[in-house]
């Protein structure tokens, strides 16, 4: 029996090698015609049939719908979803040969019997496995439970020419497409491979994770779960010079490195390219420092302002190209705060903050989602729906975005309303915000076991025109830039308990400094104020722990008090 099975595997591997060399999904470079989004699942469905025969199971010609070019494994996922409990299967994924079906409807390999797959047109066993069979319209395959191990076995069971079993449930999967460019690599390209998506909201990170499971012979991605990033694709890892970067296929529109920040919908197409880094995309390690040139104060808000525009259309509101001023590199959310302040009652909005995804705009000028209509944001240059939210888009001079109230949530929605090419509305009130910068250093973070920490380098925070305490600065940063800064604050002691997942420890504390300087600010952050152009840096510093009386156990309260006293003394000395 072992020798027969070895022979079957040898033949199977040989066939895989032949098919792998010729398979159309692997080209030197993907054709430009494939570097497009869509079609959504409704426009790409084909009809296929699946039969199960053996061990008391007889399900002949189960009809199901699946996207064209899906693999047989994906077809089985679709068939299982549409036929429910009538068709269930289990499989094991081999890194070289893909999925092996080990059980159908609770019947597994036993007593020399295995599940073999046959082409229903030829009634011959297929030469390759379920991950190498691409489904075409009206394709039909038979799973037969047999103890034969010969590759040329012919199916002769009861399901030849049988009537069709229609699906009792509609298809609920959606489809996304995934490409992996071969540029700058010696890999084969992966060109617009379909990936079945759930109906629930899905991110690019989930897309790649699903691709690992569904199409393992095409995509083998190593994912960094805490940071939601790709560290390796098809055996090629990121290095100091190159990194895998996501794009909207066929464009130069990069998506955030944190793949959980980009939502995808039916028909979207993501391409990964092995790009040369223009700057480090993530900290090299938890001890990474921000560049020295970024550890400076200023500029003040007057010296960093750019002009941007916002439009609002829908729900009875039409305000086209509201002009406003905001610091360069602000997020769109911060731009909306500035626009609201400069346009007063003419532009008001509300938002909901999600820990992972940031701000979602829930209401503009008292118009909230209703009857399936929502506020969607469009790029005023391309008129296309933006792929990311307001916390991931950064404002540049002349940037312009449109909020449109619509019930059309397709992936390729284009704005065609009255705000195209309209004249701008000048602000009615001058900008009153000031700007402060915030840095969170990665120095000494390697002392912890935390691998989710991300450093923060000179992030812009809008503050009121009056002086603000450093403690209040962190509260504002938590609200304005929640994807970048997550500070857990001690309200009683007006101090920081943790930054971006790294908490104070027995001998380490988060200590504030004027950026680039050695003199720490008081541990009680309410005692220090910041004003326009100031820059505060937090470092994870080792502090001396003083033991209790007569060498007893240490006192956290005493150590904090001593650290605060030491910091105050340093401030006094440095000011003389």
DSSP string, 303-348: GTEEEEEEEEEETTEEEEEEEEEEETT-BHHHHHHHHHHHHGGGS-
pLDDT mean across residues, the chain:
84
Asked if residue 336 belongs to a domain, the reply is yes
Q: Do 94 and 189 belong together in one domain?
A: no
Query: What's the domain count of the chain?
Result: 4
Q: Judge whether residue 548 has pLDDT over 60.
A: no
The domain containing residue 192 runs over which residues? Answer: 174-276
Residue 537 clears pLDDT 70, i.e. is over it: yes
pLDDT interval class at 547 (50, 70, 90):
very low
pTM: 0.53
pLDDT tens-digit map of 373-401: 989 999 998 888 887 889 989 999 999 99
Q: What is the mean pLDDT of residues 496-515?
A: 88
Q: Decide which of 227, 260, 276 is a domain's last residue.
A: 276
Last residue of a domain, one of 239, 261, 276: 276
467 in the same domain as 357: no
pLDDT at 74 over 60: yes
User: 444 and 346 in one domain?
Assistant: no
Structure tokens at 553: 């156990």
User: Which of 9-18, 478-487, 504-513, 548-557 has the highest average model confidence (pLDDT)?
Assistant: 478-487
Whether 131 and 262 map to the same domain: the answer is: no
One domain for residues 445 and 534:
yes
Residue-level pLDDT at 138: 93
Distances (CA, A) of 503 to 230, 286, 443: 26, 14, 14
The pLDDT of 136-150, averaged and rounded, is: 88
Whether 52 contacts 158, CB under 8 Å: no
Residue 83 lies in a domain: yes
Q: What is the CATH number of the domain that holds 306?
A: 2.170.130.30
Residue 159 lies in a domain: no
| In a shared domain, residues 135 and 259 | no
CB-based contact 383:366 (threshold 8 Å): no
pLDDT band at 556 (very low <50, low <70, confident <90, very high): very low
Do residues 551 and 465 both lie within one domain? yes
Question: Burial of 558 by CB count in 10 Å (0-12 exposed, 13-18 middle, 19+ buried)?
Answer: middle
Judged by DSSP in three states, 50 sits in: strand
How far, CA to CA in Å, does 161 sit from each of 118, 156, 326, 423, 478? Answer: 14, 11, 70, 68, 65
Burial label for 106, CB within 10 Å (0-12, 13-18, 19+), is: exposed
Is residue 365's pLDDT more than 60?
yes
Q: What pLDDT sits at residue 371?
A: 86
**In a domain? residue 423:** no
Q: How far apart are CA 358 and CA 169, in angstroms?
A: 36
Last residue of a domain, one of 146, 165, 189: 146
pLDDT band at 237 (very low <50, low <70, confident <90, very high): confident
- Predicted confidence band of residue 508 (pLDDT cuts 50, 70, 90): confident
**Any domain includes 429:** no
Residue 293 lies in a domain: no
Q: Mean pLDDT throughout 125-149?
A: 89
Task: Answer whether residue 198 is part of any domain.
Answer: yes
Same domain, 442 and 558: yes
Specify whether 568 is located in the same domain as 446.
yes
The answer to whether residue 546 scores a pLDDT higher than 80 is no
pLDDT band for 250, please (50, 70, 90 cuts). Answer: confident
- Residue 186: its pLDDT value, please? 84
Task: Please indicate, yes or no, whether residues 225 and 315 belong to a single structural domain of this protein.
Answer: no
pLDDT at 14: 35
- Give the pLDDT confidence score for residue 150 in this predicted structure: 66
Least confident among 249-258, 311-320, 360-369: 249-258
- Span 112-139, average pLDDT: 90
pLDDT confidence of residue 477: 97
Averaged pLDDT for residues 52-80: 95
Question: Do 445 and 514 share a structural domain?
Answer: yes
Q: Reduce the DSSP state of residue 500 to 3 states and report it.
A: coil
> Regarding predicted confidence, which is higher, 152 or 327?
327
**190 is a domain residue:** yes
- pLDDT band at 557, cuts 50/70/90? very low
Q: Are residues 307 and 271 in the same domain?
A: no
């Amino acid at each position: 029996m072992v020798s027969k099975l070895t022979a079957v595997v040898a033949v199977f591997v040989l066939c895989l090698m032949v098919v792998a060399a010729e398979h159309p999904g692997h080209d030197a470079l993907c054709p430009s015609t494939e570097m497009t989004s869509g079609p959504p699942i409704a426009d790409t469905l084909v009809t296929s049939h699946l039969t199960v025969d053996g061990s008391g199971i007889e399900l002949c010609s189960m009809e199901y719908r699946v996207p064209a070019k899906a693999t047989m494994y994906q077809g089985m996922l679709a068939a299982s979803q549409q036929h429910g409990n009538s068709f269930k299967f289990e499989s094991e994924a081999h890194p070289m040969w893909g999925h092996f079906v080990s059980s159908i409807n609770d019947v597994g390999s036993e007593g020399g019997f295995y599940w073999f797959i046959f082409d229903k047109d030829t009634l011959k066993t297929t030469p390759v496995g379920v991950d190498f069979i691409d489904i075409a319209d009206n394709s039909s395959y038979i799973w037969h439970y047999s103890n034969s191990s010969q590759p040329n076995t012919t199916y002769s069971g009861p399901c030849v020419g049988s009537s069709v079993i229609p699906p009792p449930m509609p298809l609920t999967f959606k489809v996304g497409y995934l490409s992996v460019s071969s540029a700058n690599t010696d890999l084969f390209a992966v060109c617009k491979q379909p990936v079945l998506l759930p109906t629930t909201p899905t991110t690019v990170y989930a897309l790649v994770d699903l691709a690992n499971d569904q199409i393992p012979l095409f995509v083998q991605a190593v994912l960094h779960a805490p940071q939601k990033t790709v560290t390796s694709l098809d055996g090629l890892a990121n290095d100091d010079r190159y990194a895998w970067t996501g794009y909207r296929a066929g464009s130069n529109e990069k998506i955030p490195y944190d793949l959980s920040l980009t939502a995808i919908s039916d028909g979207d197409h993501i391409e990964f390219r092995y790009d040369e880094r223009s700057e480090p995309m993530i900290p090299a390690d938890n001890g990474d420092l921000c560049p020295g040139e970024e550890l400076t104060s200023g500029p003040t808000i007057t010296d960093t302002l750019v002009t941007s525009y916002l439009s609002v259309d829908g729900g009875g509101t039409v305000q086209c190209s509201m002009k406003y001023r905001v610091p360069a590199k602000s997020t769109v959310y911060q731009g909306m705060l500035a626009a609201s302040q400069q346009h007063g009652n003419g532009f008001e909005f509300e938002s909901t903050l999600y820990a992972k995804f940031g701000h979602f705009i829930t209401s503009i000028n008292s118009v909230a989602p209703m009857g399936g209509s929502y506020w969607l944001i469009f790029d005023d240059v391309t008129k296309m729906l933006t792929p990311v939210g307001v916390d991931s888009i950064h404002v540049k001079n002349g940037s312009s975005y449109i909020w449109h109230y619509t019930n059309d949530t397709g992936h390729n929605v284009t704005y065609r309303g009255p705000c195209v090419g309209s004249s701008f509305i000048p602000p009615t009130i001058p900008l009153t915000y000031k700007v402060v910068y915030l840095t969170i250093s990665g120095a000494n973070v390697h002392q912890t076991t935390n691998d989710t920490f991300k450093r923060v380098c000179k992030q812009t925070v809008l503050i009121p025109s009056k002086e603000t305490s450093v403690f209040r600065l962190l509260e504002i940063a938590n609200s304005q830039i929640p994807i970048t800064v997550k500070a857990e604050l001690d309200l009683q002691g007006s101090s920081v308990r943790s930054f971006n997942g790294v908490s104070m420890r027995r001998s380490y504390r988060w200590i504030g400094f004027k950026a680039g300087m050695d003199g720490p600010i008081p541990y009680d952050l309410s005692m220090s104020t910041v004003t326009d152009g100031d820059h505060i840096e937090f470092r994870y510093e080792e502090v001396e722990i003083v033991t209790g009386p007569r060498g007893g156990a240490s006192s956290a309260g005493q150590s904090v008090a001593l650290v605060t006293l030491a910091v105050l003394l340093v401030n006094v000395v440095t000011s003389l």
